[in-house]
Structure 1
Amino acid sequence: MLRTKLSVVSTLFLAAGAVLIAGCASKPVDKTASMSPNKIYTEAKDELSAGAYDKAIPLLEKLEGRAAGTPLAQQAQLDKAYAHYKYQEPAQALATLDRFIKLHPASPALDYALYLKGIINFNDDLGLFSSITRQDLSERDQKAAKESFESFKELVTRFPESRYTPDARLRMSYIVNSLALYEVHVARYYYSRGAYLAAINRAQLALTDYQGAPALEEALFILVKSYEALDMPQLRDDSKRVLEKNFPQSEYLSQGFKSSSDPWWKLW
């Protein structure tokens, strides 16, 4: 009887040992454990260069912890944000950049962080399939476009001599034109539905907020037609005079609303 009990106990110990051994055997090996921070960074940069962003991200996370408080850790954060962006993970990229900007407000790489943040929101709003759907920025949700504009604006204001500022200015101009065109899209929609007061309000919003944008030509024409539809000749004539003064060669007055065609904004 005693032998039987000892046999059972021995079997249990052996089974427990086998589980422990199996557990140890299946535990993932940290290949960076014996690497220096510089070596980890070299490995991560190699993965980035090869387009293996999913492999670069964990390496950069290791480096960020291993080299905490050093310029190398800051660089790891920026590279990780870029890797997330290229790996189609914009939310993670933006979260990483927001953390970087908060923790390192005096970093010499702050201009790049702001630029990358603007680029991520800019591309996120354009959408992966914009070239297929032929849908431009002005026809979609404007939240990302406005956030992109704010990042670029902070960049050009705080770092006018930055290497990223010229491109940021171009993209800001594009965004302003697109936001204006968005308001005109909405105004045109209201006009086509006979909601003339709503059309006037949206057209006036475009004229007030986005001065100098090409879309304002149509905004003025929408005002002319809406006031005409509401039998308000004085306001119609005032709007027409402004249209003729600012766009003397306007085709709207002779041809009316333009038919859909390739968008004028296609810069990228």
Structure 2
Amino acid sequence: MNKINEKLRKINLHYTNTVKLLLFIYLFFSGCSSNQKIEQQSQEDLPVDSLYNQALDTVYSGNPKQAASMFEEVERQHPYSNWAVKSQLMAAWAYFEANDYPRALISLERFIELYPAHEDVEYAYYLRALCYYEQIVDVERDAAMTQRSMDAFSELLRRFPNGIYAQDSLLKRDLASSNLAGKEMAVGRFYLRQGYLSAAINRFQKVIDEYQSSNQVPEALYRLIASFSMMNLKRKLIGHLK
């Protein structure tokens, strides 16, 4: 009988501890949920300008990704206000500051599509080009991002030739152009060393035709003339041998 009572006591103790543990877990997560709801409710109770300024402070305090979410919250809470338009562009900027270029580009494309006549649309085009430009790592391995950067800067310059970002855009586009031209020149020189004159000529000609503002053009002209001279000598030599 004592053994049975002892066993029942242990079972009751185990059951009591289990109930206490489950109650603790429930209260803990309920508290977390309540805190989240209170925090969300407190944000929703804030005036729109205060919410916007909080997002700005969050960027300047070194947490741009969180700030981007806060700017998006401004847009969610006040979708038809001027603050929503402003916050959409600021969210893109915050994502850019966080090096989250894909999400920045999504926000920028949406802003440009929805507000093509907005006073800050020039900045949106500029920031979009910078998103591509900052992702250029090694043009020798992947020229696609360099080309996208060039295209984006070219579109900005076409739309805003005298804009405040025109000079910097022109400089960065020319640098990107020189990178692509440099890649073509490297391939052309390789073909030239191997004696593939036609292939080398095609590469040098491409630099001259497509990257006219590049600093690679003078060398491309020199190599092109040298390649044609070598080709003519080769033809003459073959003619003499016949």
Alignment TM class, shorter chain as reference:
0.7 to 0.9
Using the TM superposition, give the Cα deviation of residue 202 of structure 1 relative to its aligned residue in structure 2, in angstroms. 0.9
Partner of 1:74: 85
Q: Is the 8 A contact 1:139 1:185 kept in 2?
A: no
Partner of 2:220: 219
Matched residue SS, 1:33: helix
Amino acid at match of 2:68: I
Structure 1 residues 212 and 40: alpha-carbon distance in aligned structure 2, compared to 1, 3 A threshold: closer
Partner of 1:100: 111
**Pairing 1:116–2:124 present:** no
More helix by share: 2
Partner of 1:52: 63
Q: Is the 8 A contact 1:227 1:233 kept in 2?
A: no
* Cα-to-partner distance string for 1:72-122 (whole Å, 9 max, x where unaligned): 112211111111112121111111111111121221111000000111111
Q: Is the 8 A contact 2:139 2:146 kept in 1?
A: no
Amino acid at match of 1:144: M
Identity %: 28
Structure 2 unmatched runs, 5+: 1-15, 236-242
Q: Distance in 1 between matches of 2:53 and 2:69?
A: 13
Aligned runs of 1:182-221 on 2, under 5 Å? 182-221=183-222
Amino acid at match of 2:80: G
Partner of 1:24: 30
Q: Distance in 2 between matches of 1:15 and 1:33?
A: 34
Matched residue SS, 1:77: helix
Aligned residue-pair number = 215
Matched residue SS, 1:51: coil
Q: Distance in 2 between matches of 1:67 and 1:195?
A: 64
TM-score in terms of structure 1 length:
0.70
CA RMSD of aligned residues (A): 2.8
* Cα-to-partner distance string for 1:228-251 (whole Å, 9 max, x where unaligned): 4444479xxxxxxxxxxxxxxxxx
Amino acid at match of 2:49: N
Structure 1 unmatched runs, 5+: 1-10, 128-136, 235-268
Using the TM superposition, give the Cα deviation of residue 192 of structure 1 relative to its aligned residue in structure 2, in angstroms. 2.7
Partner of 1:163: 164
Q: Is the 8 A contact 2:185 2:203 kept in 1?
A: yes
**Pairing 1:37–2:48 present:** yes
Amino acid at match of 2:76: G
Using the TM superposition, give the Cα deviation of residue 23 of structure 1 relative to its aligned residue in structure 2, in angstroms. 4.1
Using the TM superposition, give the Cα deviation of residue 149 of structure 1 relative to its aligned residue in structure 2, in angstroms. 2.1
